[in-house]
Amino acid sequence: MRRDRRGASRPCRWPIFRAARAQTHTLSHVAFYLPLQVTLAGDDAIRLEGTRVSADTFAMLGGQPSLGRRFEEKEELSGADAVIILSHALLAAALGGAPGVVGQSLTLDGRAYTVVGVMPCSFQFPDAASQFWIPFVATDFQSMGGAPIARLKDGVPLATAAAELRR
């Protein structure tokens, strides 16, 4: 989150995120996330905690799905297919651990999402409550912001990156 003049946190918006991701020389990755809650449709509807993420989030965190794949940049575009990556815990608890889940459809808040990956049980996301991840579509930024996360390039001091981002 960014801070306003009084020091209160405020969400980062798409133009700032896009510029930081495209123009940074001190960061190896810049990603973005925003927690959300949805209802998984089924015989017994289940309330889930998830996260909207930019496509490069898993690459930045060094996370590789144990099944399927990571998100692709094209899935951040408006009109892209609705896709989802599940946590290992969600797969085991709510979906019975079905190994053939990749390619299947899940309905969250009335919208169908195609499962493209499952993260391993060892994967640790900054928001530990997250049970799934969906791409943060560029148009989502028009009405909401989120929290940027970044990784410094090797050998770059934090102060140097902070100065670059302030510009």
For 136, counting Cβ atoms within 10 Å of its Cβ (0-12 exposed, 13-18 middle, 19+ buried), the class is buried
Residues of the chain with pLDDT under 50: 1-9
**pLDDT recorded at residue 2:** 38
Predicted TM-score (pTM) of the model is 0.82
- 46-53 vs 27-40, strand pairing mode: antiparallel
The Cα–Cα gap between 61 and 130 comes to: 14
Measured distance CA(133)–CA(33) in Å, rounded? 9
Amino acid 13: pLDDT: 66
DSSP 72-84: -GGGGSTTPPPEE
